[in-house]
Amino acid sequence: MNPSLYLSSQRPAPPLPKTVKIGNTLVGDGQPCFFVAEIGINHNGNPRITEFLIDAAAQARCNAVKFQKRTPDLCVPESQKSKLKETEWGEMTYIEYRRKIELTKLDYQRIDAQCAARGIMWFASCWDIPSVEFISQFDVPCFKVASATLTDDDSLRAVRGAGKPILLSTGMSTLEQIDHAIEVLGDHDLILLHSVSSYPAYYNELNLRVMQTLRDRYSLPVGYSGHETGIASSTAAAALGAAVIERHITKDRSLWGSDQAASLEPSGLRLLMRDIRLVEQSMGTAEKRVLARELPMIEKLRMKK
């Protein structure tokens, strides 16, 4: 028997690509980076800002926009509810502020219609069980689990019960806590997002190499949810193979709100999308070869012996 044939037959088959289908888009190994423009709460309860940001994300050719949905009376800790907060509407309790910035059902109906018209997906991170039920009525293509709710088993089960793919952010969490969350969720149709939950995050905190740690530990698609200023680290995350990149977006970083400073304005969003797609084109394959466009340079520059 030819020894080389014997050795070849013993080689393990290459691992199957790890992909998750979000809507009609495959996300994961070998696929373009899936970009999520997080509007979150940067609308400040104003539907006109929401409309502006959806248009900005569609113009930048993002894959999806994301919102945050809460039932404030359930998900705001009791110790925080009565605390006073300075807001753009004046001083109010924290629970009053949280109620004020929640979008209505009519707002979400308009979001759903606008996104359909602009050809961009939308979904939400749901911070409590009624919010999961509320967002489910719109047949969104996936759900997000925010870092803050990674340890809430009841919320995790509700999100899994919605029957859609899940993006799980892992900020402010230990590996053991992530282990447990995956035990609760199961690993079917699951994408992990490395994240640092400081606003804005410092560059020396980002530790993008954790993406590879998560890939090695869980054998799942891994992406990056960034809260830093600027675009350099998100471009680097794309070069490191992030399956998903999520960044907050805003109409104006000087607007009032806790997430505005860690967000990208439309011009920054367009630049980041451009750079990510250029990085993807640049990565190529591991094959070293002489390109057809190099042949004239060989004739022109190499000494012939």
pLDDT at position 4 is: 43
pLDDT at position 36 is: 98
Q: pLDDT tens across 150-174, in order?
A: 999 999 999 999 999 999 999 999 9
Q: In this predicted model, which residue has the larger pLDDT, 1 or 194?
A: 194
Q: In this predicted model, which residue has the larger pLDDT, 53 or 9?
A: 53
Q: How far apart are CA 286 and CA 152, in angstroms?
A: 42
Q: How far apart are CA 292 and CA 269, in angstroms?
A: 35
Comparing CA positions, the residue from 116, 179, 185, 182 lying closest to residue 157 is 185
Q: What tokens were used for 275?
A: 């750079």
Quick one: CATH architecture of 15-301?
Answer: Alpha-Beta Barrel (3.20)
Residue ranges per domain, the chain? 15-301
Q: Is the pLDDT of residue 9 over 60?
A: no
Mean of pLDDT over the chain? 93
Q: Is the pLDDT of residue 1 over 50?
A: no
Q: Is the pLDDT of residue 12 over 70?
A: no
Beta bridge partners of 37: 65, 247
Identify the band that residue 16 occupies on the pLDDT scale cut at 50, 70 and 90: low
Q: Is the pLDDT of residue 86 over 70?
A: yes
| Contact assessment for residue 118 and residue 55, using Cβ atoms and an 8 Å cutoff | yes
pTM: 0.90
Q: How far apart are CA 243 and CA 189, in angstroms?
A: 13
